[in-house]
């Protein structure tokens, strides 16, 4: 990684003595071993240099905790060789890492598949600490107590009452921070069907709500004394116009004095969009292998779409016919199993 001067960090470090607690938040790392066709670089290498920069930032900024907003991996069971390489970076953090799982971390987006995924496995080993739904974790430093909660992705998020996923109660703590892997927006987006507007959940008792899932990010928004933020994905996977110009970064959470402060810190190792993303049309490429790879990718994407539909159909039927919750959950669970089966079959086929 290129040398990163620390002179510019000075303003962030001033006043550190007075500070009670510092956390560094980033999200949607989508750790993976290959490069999507929208990118010109070697994505695993880029991911590595970004993670190295975040590790260095965490040390320079003297943060007490690392927070990850989900979609840690790009798939529920990534290859061990690739993951091992990238997880080496996570071992360099000198403070604990708390995370929530995203849709990509789970089979069929099903939270019940967590113990069969690599992320769930890392949690069991204690490598990463997952914040589970409904769980309250108390982080203490000097006389400050921070209540940490998290809502992992599940298939009803941004569709059911948003208070169930986004609003928390603050109990026995000075401050509360809630992480959600959901589509929190300030204004509706025409292309998105499922989202939650900040205005719907601003009665939460969390002082800070940190989200992921929406890769373009939300920025840092303050409403009625509460902070709602999403720095955007740490990796740009799509080549849409917004992603070409977006700055990639992390959020520094400073708990000091009167009220908490969040600051966006752009990553130096994230190169400008036009250097790493291509908008070139795939059909202009004549290489047969690329065409074949694309065809396979398309078939798989359609298969993915079918599964999404299957989930939605089950939801609709369950709603319309008043099917009981248990039966619906069993059906959704089975879809996750089928997806897991298909995935491992695919791995065998590729080999």
Task: Kindly list the residues in this chain that would bind Mn ion in the complex (CB under 5 A).
Answer: 28, 71
Task: State the CB neighbour count (10 A cutoff) for residue 23.
Answer: 26
Q: Rank residues 105 and 207 by Cβ distance to Mn ion and give the closer one.
A: 105
Q: Rank residues 61 and 211 by Cβ distance to Mn ion and give the closer one.
A: 211
Q: Rank residues 51 and 146 by Cβ distance to Mn ion and give the closer one.
A: 51
Q: Rank residues 28 and 207 by Cβ distance to Mn ion and give the closer one.
A: 28
Minimum distance of Mn ion from residue 176's CB (angstroms): 24
Residue of 242, 240, 206 whose CA lies nearest to 224: 206
Q: Which letter does DSSP use for residue 31 in this model?
A: B
Minimum distance of Mn ion from residue 328's CB (angstroms): 25
Minimum distance of Mn ion from residue 117's CB (angstroms): 15
Distances (CA, A) of 257 to 148, 177, 231, 321: 19, 16, 24, 54
The token duo for 300 is 């798989």
Q: Which long-range contacts (CB under 8 A, 24 or more apart) does 113-117 make?
A: 113/76, 113/336, 113/340, 114/152, 116/76, 116/77, 116/340, 117/73, 117/76, 117/77
Minimum distance of Mn ion from residue 267's CB (angstroms): 17
Task: State the CB neighbour count (10 A cutoff) for residue 97.
Answer: 19
Minimum distance of Mn ion from residue 312's CB (angstroms): 19
Residue 227 pairs in a beta bridge with 208, 222
Which positions ≥6 away from 91 have C-beta within 8 Å? none
Q: What is the DSSP string of 270-296?
A: S--HHHHB----GGG---HHHHHHHHH
Which helix (H) or strand (E) covers residue 314, if one does?
A: helix 288-320
Q: Which residue has the tokens 């065409």?
A: 291
Distance from chain centroid for Cα 183: 11
Minimum distance of Mn ion from residue 237's CB (angstroms): 8
Residues 261 and 177 sit within 8 Å (Cβ to Cβ): no
Q: Rank residues 69 and 273 by Cβ distance to Mn ion and give the closer one.
A: 69
Q: Rank residues 19 and 28 by Cβ distance to Mn ion and give the closer one.
A: 28
Minimum distance of Mn ion from residue 102's CB (angstroms): 5
Q: Rank residues 183 and 267 by Cβ distance to Mn ion and give the closer one.
A: 183
Q: Rank residues 53 and 71 by Cβ distance to Mn ion and give the closer one.
A: 71
Minimum distance of Mn ion from residue 57's CB (angstroms): 21
């Amino acid at each position: 990684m290129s040398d990163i001067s620390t002179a510019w960090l000075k303003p962030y470090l001033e006043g550190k003595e007075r500070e009670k607690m510092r956390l560094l938040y980033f999200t949607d790392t989508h750790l993976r071993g290959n490069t999507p066709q929208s990118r010109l670089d070697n994505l695993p290498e880029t991911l590595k240099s970004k993670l190295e920069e975040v590790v260095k930032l965490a040390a320079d900024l003297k943060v007490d905790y690392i927070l990850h907003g989900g979609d840690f991996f790009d798939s529920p069971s990534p290859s061990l060789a690739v993951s091992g390489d990238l997880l080496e970076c996570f071992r360099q953090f000198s403070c604990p890492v708390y995370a929530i799982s995203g849709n990509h971390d789970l089979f069929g987006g099903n939270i019940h598949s967590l113990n069969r995924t690599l992320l769930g496995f890392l949690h069991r080993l204690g490598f990463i600490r997952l914040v589970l739904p409904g769980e309250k974790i108390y982080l203490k430093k000097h006389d400050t107590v921070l209540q940490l909660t998290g809502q992992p992705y599940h298939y009803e998020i941004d569709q059911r009452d948003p208070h169930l996923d986004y609003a928390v109660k603050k109990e026995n703590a000075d401050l509360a921070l809630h992480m959600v892997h959901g589509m929190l927006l300030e204004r509706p987006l025409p292309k998105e069907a499922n989202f939650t507007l900040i205005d719907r959940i601003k009665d939460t008792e969390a002082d800070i709500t940190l989200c992921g899932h929406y890769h373009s990010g939300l920025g840092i928004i303050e409403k009625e004394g509460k902070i709602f933020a999403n720095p955007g994905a740490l990796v740009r996977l799509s080549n849409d116009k917004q992603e070409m110009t977006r700055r990639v970064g992390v959020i520094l959470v400073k708990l000091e004095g009167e009220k908490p402060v969040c600051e966006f810190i752009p990553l130096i190792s994230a190169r400008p969009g036009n250097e790493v993303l291509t908008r070139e049309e795939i059909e202009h490429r004549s290489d047969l292998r690329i065409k074949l790879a694309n065809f396979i990718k398309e078939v798989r994407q359609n298969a993915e779409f079918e599964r999404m539909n299957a989930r939605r159909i089950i939801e609709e039927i369950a709603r319309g016919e008043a099917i009981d919750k248990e039966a619906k959950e069993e059906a959704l669970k089975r879809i996750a199993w089928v997806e897991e089966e298909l995935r491992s079959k695919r791995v065998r086929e590729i080999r």
